[in-house]
Amino acid sequence: MNLRLGGAVALAAAYVAFTAVPAFAGPTLDAVKSKGQLTCGVNTGLPGFSSPDSQGKWTGLDVDICKAVAAVILNDTNKIRYTPLSAQQRLTALQSGEIDLLVRNTTWSLTRDAQGLDFAPPVYYDGQGLMVAKSLGVTSAKQLDGATVCVQPGTTTELNLADWFRAHNLSFKPVVIEALDEVNAAFFAGRCDVLTTDISGLAGVRASVATKPDDFIILPEVMSKEPLAPVVRHGDNQWRDIVSWTIYALIEAEEKGITQANIDAKLKDPDPSVQRLLGVQGDLGTGLGVDKAWAYRAIKAVGNYGEIFERNIGKKTPLKLDRGLNALWTNGGLMYAPPIR
Amino acid sequence: MSDSNATTNKAAAPPGRAAFHLSINNPIVRAVLAQLGVALAVALVAWYLVGNTMDNLARLSIASGFGFLDREAGFQIGETLVEFGPQDHYSTAFLVGILNTLKVSGIGILLATLLGVVLGIARLSSNWLVARIAAFYVESVRNVPLLLQLFLWYALLTEGLPGPRQALAPLPGVFLSNRGLKLPAPADDPIWAWVAALFGLGIILTLVIAAWNAKRQAATGKRLSLLPIGLGLTLGLPLLVLLASGGGAIDMPVLQGFNFRGGMTLSPEFAALLFGLVIYTAAFIGEIVRSGILAVPKGQTEAATALGLTRGQLLRLVVLPQALRVIIPPTTSQYLNLTKNSSLAVAIGYPDFVSIANTTINQTGQAVEGVLSIMGAYLIISLSLSFLMNWYNSRVALVER
Q: Do domains A2-125+228-331 and A128-224 have the same CATH topology?
A: yes
Angle at B355 between CA B351 and CA B357, to 5 degrees: 120
Most A CBs within 10 A among B45, B179, B258, hence the mutation to make, goes to B258
**Minimum distance, in Å, between the CA of residue A239 and any CA atom of chain B:** 16
Most B CBs within 10 A among A16, A91, A150, A193, hence the mutation to make, goes to A16
Does B56 touch chain A if contact means CB atoms closer than 8 Å? yes
pLDDT digits 0-9 by tens, B41-90: 999 999 998 888 888 777 766 667 788 888 888 888 888 888 888 889 99
Whether residue B19 is predicted with pLDDT greater than 80 in this model: the reply is: no
Does B49 touch chain A if contact means CB atoms closer than 8 Å? yes
**Minimum distance, in Å, between the CA of residue B352 and any CA atom of chain A:** 11
**Minimum distance, in Å, between the CA of residue B283 and any CA atom of chain A:** 22
Cα distance between residue B178 and residue B157, in whole Å: 6
Whether residue B9 is predicted with pLDDT greater than 70 in this model: the reply is: no
B368–A154 C-beta distance less than 8 A: no
**Minimum distance, in Å, between the CA of residue B143 and any CA atom of chain A:** 18
**A165: which chain B residues are within 8 Å (Cβ-Cβ)?**
76
B257–A146 C-beta distance less than 8 A: yes
pLDDT digits 0-9 by tens, B187-231: 777 778 888 888 888 889 888 988 888 888 888 877 777 778 888
Q: Which of A86, A82, A58 is nearest to A1 (CA)?
A: A86
Cα distance between residue B175 and residue A63, in whole Å: 47
Cα distance between residue B355 and residue B97, in whole Å: 8
Does B362 touch chain A if contact means CB atoms closer than 8 Å? yes
Cα distance between residue B292 and residue B381, in whole Å: 26
User: What pLDDT, on a 0 to 100 scale, did the predictor assign at position B16?
Assistant: 52
User: What pLDDT, on a 0 to 100 scale, did the predictor assign at position A282?
Assistant: 86
Does B52 touch chain A if contact means CB atoms closer than 8 Å? yes
Cβ neighbours for A46, distance < 8 A, ≥ 6 positions apart: A60, A105, A180, A201, A204
Going residue by residue through chain A, which has 341 residues, state the pLDDT in tens, using 9 for 90 and above: 344 444 555 555 555 555 444 344 348 999 999 999 999 999 988 889 999 988 889 999 999 999 999 999 999 999 999 999 987 788 889 988 899 999 998 989 888 898 889 999 999 999 999 999 998 888 898 998 888 999 987 667 888 899 999 999 998 989 988 888 888 989 998 889 999 988 888 988 888 888 888 899 999 888 888 899 999 999 899 999 999 999 999 999 999 999 999 999 999 999 999 999 999 988 889 889 899 999 999 999 999 999 999 999 998 988 888 898 999 999 999 999 999 98
Q: Does domain A128-224 have CATH number 3.40.1550.10?
A: no
Average confidence score pLDDT of chain B: 85
- ipTM of model: 0.70
Q: What is the CA radius of gyration of chain B?
A: 29
Q: Which of A228, A259, A260, A300 is nearest to A48 (CA)?
A: A228
- Residue pair A229/A108 in contact (Cβ under 8 Å)? The answer is yes
- Residue pair A67/A307 in contact (Cβ under 8 Å)? The answer is no
Q: What percent of chain B has pLDDT over 90?
A: 39
B163–A234 C-beta distance less than 8 A: no
Q: Where in chain B are all domains bearing CATH 1.10.3720.10?
A: 90-188+249-396
**B368: which chain A residues are within 8 Å (Cβ-Cβ)?**
13, 16
Please give the C-alpha separations between residue B392 and each of A116, B191, B384, B385, in angstroms, as whole numbers. 50, 36, 12, 11
Q: Which residue of B has its CA nearest to A185?
A: B155
More confident residue, B264 or B143: B143
Q: What percent of chain B has pLDDT over 70?
A: 93
B269–A174 C-beta distance less than 8 A: no
**B151: which chain A residues are within 8 Å (Cβ-Cβ)?**
182
**Minimum distance, in Å, between the CA of residue B76 and any CA atom of chain A:** 6
Most B CBs within 10 A among A128, A161, A175, A181, hence the mutation to make, goes to A175
User: What pLDDT, on a 0 to 100 scale, did the predictor assign at position A278?
Assistant: 94
pLDDT digits 0-9 by tens, B93-116: 999 999 999 999 999 999 999 999
Does B375 touch chain A if contact means CB atoms closer than 8 Å? no
Side-chain half-sphere exposure of B214, counting CA atoms within 13 A: 5
Report residue A114: phi and psi, to 5°: -85, 0
**B59: which chain A residues are within 8 Å (Cβ-Cβ)?**
21, 24, 235
Residue B266 exposed, middle or buried by CB count within 10 Å (0-12, 13-18, 19+): middle
CATH architecture of B90-188+249-396: Orthogonal Bundle (1.10)
A166–B371 C-beta distance less than 8 A: no
Does B92 touch chain A if contact means CB atoms closer than 8 Å? no
Does B158 touch chain A if contact means CB atoms closer than 8 Å? yes
User: What pLDDT, on a 0 to 100 scale, did the predictor assign at position A25?
Assistant: 36
| Residue B212 CA to its chain's centroid (Å) | 31
Q: Which residue of B has its CA nearest to A233?
A: B60
| Residue B287 CA to its chain's centroid (Å) | 19
User: What pLDDT, on a 0 to 100 scale, did the predictor assign at position B11?
Assistant: 47
- Look up residue A266 and give its amino acid: K
A191–B355 C-beta distance less than 8 A: no
Q: Where are the domains of chain A?
A: 2-125+228-331, 128-224
Q: Which residue of B has its CA nearest to A192?
A: B179
Report residue B262: phi and psi, to 5°: 80, 175
pLDDT digits 0-9 by tens, B311-322: 888 888 888 888
Q: Does domain A2-125+228-331 have CATH number 3.40.190.10?
A: yes
Give the A:B interface size as CB pairs under 8 Å: 168
Comparing CB atoms, the residue among A17, A87, A179 nearest residue B347 is: A179
Q: Which residue of A has its CA nearest to B342?
A: A2
pLDDT digits 0-9 by tens, B326-343: 899 999 999 999 999 999
User: What pLDDT, on a 0 to 100 scale, did the predictor assign at position A31?
Assistant: 92
**Minimum distance, in Å, between the CA of residue A52 and any CA atom of chain B:** 22
Most A CBs within 10 A among B346, B350, B375, hence the mutation to make, goes to B346
Whether residue B8 is predicted with pLDDT greater than 60 in this model: the reply is: no
- Residue pair B70/B366 in contact (Cβ under 8 Å)? The answer is no
Q: Which residue of B has its CA nearest to A10?
A: B371
Comparing CB atoms, the residue among A16, A158, A163 nearest residue B359 is: A158
Look up the pTM and report it: 0.74
B346–A2 C-beta distance less than 8 A: yes
Most A CBs within 10 A among B49, B151, B273, B363, hence the mutation to make, goes to B363
Most B CBs within 10 A among A176, A183, A192, hence the mutation to make, goes to A176
Rama region for B64: left / alpha / beta (φ>0; ψ in -120 to 50; rest)? beta
Q: Which of A87, A74, A93, A75 is nearest to A31 (CA)?
A: A74
Please give the C-alpha separations between residue B222 and each of A38, B297, B310, in angstroms, as whole numbers. 85, 30, 18
Q: Which residue of A has its CA nearest to B364?
A: A111
Comparing CB atoms, the residue among B86, B159, B371 nearest residue A9 is: B371
